[in-house]
Amino acid sequence: MATLALFDIDDLALPKSLQEAVEHGEVFTRGWVVELILDLIGYTPDKDLCAVRLVEPACGGGAFLGVIAERVSASCRAHGRPLSDGAEAVRAFDLLSRNVEESRSVITRTLHDAGWSSADVELIATTWVRQGDYLLHPDAGHPTDYVVGNPPYIRLEAVPDDRMAAYRDACPTMSGRADTYIGFYETALRSLAPGGRLGFICADRWMRNQYGRALRRLVTRRFSMDLVLSLHDVDVFDEQVSAYPAITLISSRAQGPAVVADTTRAFGPAHARDFAAWCRSGSGEQVAAEAFQAARLPQWFPGEDSWPAASPARLAMLEDLTERFALLEDARTGTRVGIGIATGADKVFITRDTDAVEPDRLLPMAMVRDTTSGHVNWGGTYLVNPWSADGDLVDLDAYPRLAAYFGKHGDVLRKRYVAVKQPDRWYKTFDKVDSRLTRRAKLLFPDMKLAIHPVLDEGGLYPHHNLYFVVSETWDMRVLGGLLLSKVAQAFVEAYAVRMRGGTLRFQAQYLRKIRVPAPDAISERDRAALAEAFDRRDPAAATKAALRVYGLAELPE
């Protein structure tokens, strides 16, 4: 980690723009949610809480600190300790002086009500809470047993340039258009002692968005993702905000079992206690109650790519399939997922005029509209192809009609970025044509559909860039087509892809590559025939029925 800037904590001067951003990003957590987080991470009064260290990175008005003070007080009484023994047990930070004073007041009231002396209470309140920037604070790196809180939601664009640069230097995971909460996760995780635990309530967008990729990489390489409890429809904050909140527990250890849970609007304090009790029980039984659903996975999903989003039962199924089956794209079966050609100038390179250029410069092209029926109905579209079978640009002197055609559109073609960058190759398409792909049988997938829609081209067409394709050296493409027509295959895409307006899914290569499939030779003749027939008849229900047998599933969880 980079060397951190130091400053006088007691005399911290914030730029007005940052103070306004912090105030805008303040969202305070309800008390019962704080209780739940502390229960889940095991910060309970039966433990000697004076012997461990807890940090709250952004204490705000003291929502967490009031409950923490109650628990430290109860722990001191249970273990026969004076309250002063807890002076070093908690550290809390906030940028705003008024929040520091309010948090100290919350601690003071709580401990006075618990019967402790004024001297001890004053010691605890002033020692625990400090004004400072957690992301740039040297104390943040001290080994910590627990980090808890609700980190502020502030877009980096709202932070002054010099401080934003310091944040990015201190927290490498804050890349792109990140939110400051990414930095809070990173700083907190790096501060954890072995076995230490982080418990945040925070927006869960980092688990799926591009700006969270570096943080996901850090988590999967060095930590254990222990729990994700989605609370999107629950009033967990004092104000109504659209923050997609989730409670996330991460620990400093090798990856172990992980709990995934989702809630309904009915979820409240009593249900929170029930959920915490279920988590503590270690039960492997899934829960499907009115207020919450929960499942325990053997481990978390690997890698830095977007983590899946689905019901706990479906996530458990996907994790099970991830463990038991290989990815669709697999060198062992010679199966590859790709995207059709991007030309960089469709109006020039795509034509229906068979006399436009020499016949061998016209490459039949599959368009999305050709796949609508579920079978290829080619509409007569061609690619004006500047590439030879060897993968080189053809010599225009050898093709006078092609040269004349491109010359007529020279102004358009030469202004493209690829042409400016390589002026001598001004007539190239953005992507190169792979002539072998035309001859191969391939499954075509329109980019945007409500349901997965594999269509078989037995060879002869080259896909446009709005079509994705699957080719294989091993699979019978009708059998694979039936498997990919099923709701099981779609479940993978649904878990990773972002739905567009109206429920439309993006069937892009990055999502198709998430699909897990059995080895082709592991499928029985009966199921191979059923999958191929379902594919030929365009029958997703029959394909799903056969796929469930192939995957060893009794049903597809909602």
Contact 212, 304 (CB under 8 A): no
Structure tokens at 551: 């995957």
**What's the first-to-final CA gap in the chain, in angstroms?**
43
Q: What is the pLDDT of residue 239?
A: 56
Residue 358's alpha-carbon distances to 336, 402, 461, in angstroms, are 32, 7, 18
Dump pLDDT digits (tens) for 55-104.
Answer: 999 999 999 999 999 999 999 999 999 999 999 999 999 999 999 999 99
Q: What is the pLDDT of residue 139?
A: 63
> Does residue 9 have a pLDDT over 60?
no
Average pLDDT, the chain: 90
Q: What is the pLDDT of residue 65?
A: 97
Dump pLDDT digits (tens) for 402-418.
Answer: 999 999 999 999 999 88
Higher pLDDT, 153 or 5: 153
- Among 37, 72, 265, 263, smallest CA distance to 151 is for 37
Residues 6+ apart with CB under 8 A from 53: 88, 89, 90, 91, 142, 143, 144, 145, 146, 193
Dump pLDDT digits (tens) for 451-486.
Answer: 999 999 999 999 999 999 999 999 999 999 999 999
pLDDT band at 265 (very low <50, low <70, confident <90, very high): confident
Higher pLDDT, 535 or 156: 535
Q: Is the dihedral of CA 445, 446, 450, 456 positive or negative?
A: negative
Contact 62, 107 (CB under 8 A): yes
Name the DSSP class of 496: H
Mean pLDDT to the nearest integer, 264-290: 91
Higher pLDDT, 8 or 374: 374
Contact 219, 173 (CB under 8 A): no
Contact 226, 178 (CB under 8 A): no
Q: What is the pLDDT of residue 378?
A: 97
Name the DSSP class of 305: S
Contact 107, 66 (CB under 8 A): yes
Mean pLDDT to the nearest integer, 495-507: 81
Name the DSSP class of 401: H
Prediction pTM value: 0.78
- Among 434, 472, 468, 438, smallest CA distance to 453 is for 468
Dump pLDDT digits (tens) for 318-374.
Answer: 999 999 999 999 999 999 999 999 999 999 999 999 999 999 999 999 999 999 999
Q: What is the pLDDT of residue 27?
A: 62
Contact 57, 22 (CB under 8 A): no
Residue 432's alpha-carbon distances to 25, 339, 340, 357, 440, in angstroms, are 47, 12, 10, 19, 17
For residue 286, give the amino acid letter: Q
- Among 540, 486, 494, 531, smallest CA distance to 514 is for 494
C-alpha–C-alpha distance, residues 320 and 328, integer Å = 16
Instruction: Give the containing element (helix H, strand E) for 54.
Output: strand 54-56
- Among 116, 118, 43, 47, smallest CA distance to 78 is for 47
Other residues' Cβ atoms within 10 Å of the Cβ of residue 433: 20
Mean pLDDT to the nearest integer, 298-325: 91
Enumerate the H helices of 344-476 as residue ranges: 346-349, 400-408, 410-414, 417-421, 435-439
Q: What is the pLDDT of residue 505?
A: 86
- Among 319, 387, 312, 377, smallest CA distance to 349 is for 387
Q: What is the pLDDT of residue 13?
A: 52
